[in-house]
Structure 1
Amino acid sequence: MSSSLQDIKLDELCNSIIGINKNIQTVAIINKLGRPVKKVTRDGSLKQLPQPKDEMFFMQCVLQISMGKEYDSEYGPINYHLLERENLTMITFPMRDHVILVTAKKDTSPISLARKIVTTINGYS
């Protein structure tokens, strides 16, 4: 797949995910080194983390999914990893050699949202 075609597909995927629910604030596709390759943010959403914290957070997401893969043979592959904070829900999804990070407002059902996102991701895999 050409680079520009891949970029279009990643843009389409991010836009499809952010369109699933109005409470989704950000969709980021992160490579295995913890660097974002695509990022879509809904207008008016939460303020961004400072650059060093943003990078560390992305690396943490990749590490969490990567470490979880160690148990795939015993428990099956990870569909998603869910983290709820006081005012934010974060869900990470493995996709080939990337991780998709979705942040959403707390006003949503995280399990239902995660399942809808998995269905969308599977349509692009």
Structure 2
Amino acid sequence: MSVSDGTLKLYGEKCKELLQESEIRFAGIVDKEGQLISGGFKEGISPHEGDETRLQTFLEFVSKASIRKEYDESLGPINYLAARRDKAVLVSFPFPVTQILLLISAEPTVNIETLAKKIVEIFTDVK
């Protein structure tokens, strides 16, 4: 299933809403080919040196992990994957039906569980 133009616009609005959160640096929707299709860095934020490369590397890891289904039956599907680094926290949320990912980069001080709950609240009404 692909993402319709209307859904893509809604995703863009949701990413903008996420970027209002003080600790979020980047919020983007990435397709199964790894291309950014909506969202981006917060206005006025300078990416850390290599941020885009790190996001791409993280995306590759997440894509591989998200498509692995061997534990879905016993443990349930992946809700999100997170990596805490010295300079940033990276979190991804797979949308399996449309085969896209929400990718977030946040300040290292962010509480991952609180962030995950906020993201679920914002994206709950997106089909």
Q: TM-score per shorter chain, which class?
A: 0.7 to 0.9
50 and 78 in structure 1: CA distance in 2 versus 1, 3 angstrom threshold: closer
> 1:94, CA displacement in angstroms?
1.0
54 and 92 in structure 1: CA distance in 2 versus 1, 3 angstrom threshold: closer
- 1:90-109 residue pairs with structure 2 within 5 A? 90-95=90-95, 96=97, 97-109=99-111
For residues 47 and 13 of structure 1, the distance between their equivalents in structure 2, rounded to whole angstroms, comes to 21
> 1:13, CA displacement in angstroms?
1.9
| Match of residue 121 from structure 1 | 123
- 1:60-99 residue pairs with structure 2 within 5 A? 60-67=61-68, 69-95=69-95, 96=97, 97-99=99-101
Tell me the TM-score normalised to structure 2 length: 0.80
For residues 111 and 2 of structure 1, the distance between their equivalents in structure 2, rounded to whole angstroms, comes to 27
For residues 50 and 112 of structure 1, the distance between their equivalents in structure 2, rounded to whole angstroms, comes to 23
Deviation string 1:77-122 (CA, Å, 9 cap, x unpaired) is 1111111001100110011311110000012211111121122222
More helix by share: 1
Q: Where do 5+ consecutive residues of structure 1 fail to align?
A: none
Number of equivalences? 123
Asked if structure 2 preserves the Cα contact closer than 8 Å seen for 1:27 and 1:100, the reply is yes
For residues 52 and 90 of structure 1, the distance between their equivalents in structure 2, rounded to whole angstroms, comes to 13
> What is the aligned-residue identity percentage?
23
For residues 101 and 47 of structure 1, the distance between their equivalents in structure 2, rounded to whole angstroms, comes to 15
Greater displacement, 113-122 / 57-66: 57-66
Q: Where do 5+ consecutive residues of structure 2 fail to align?
A: none
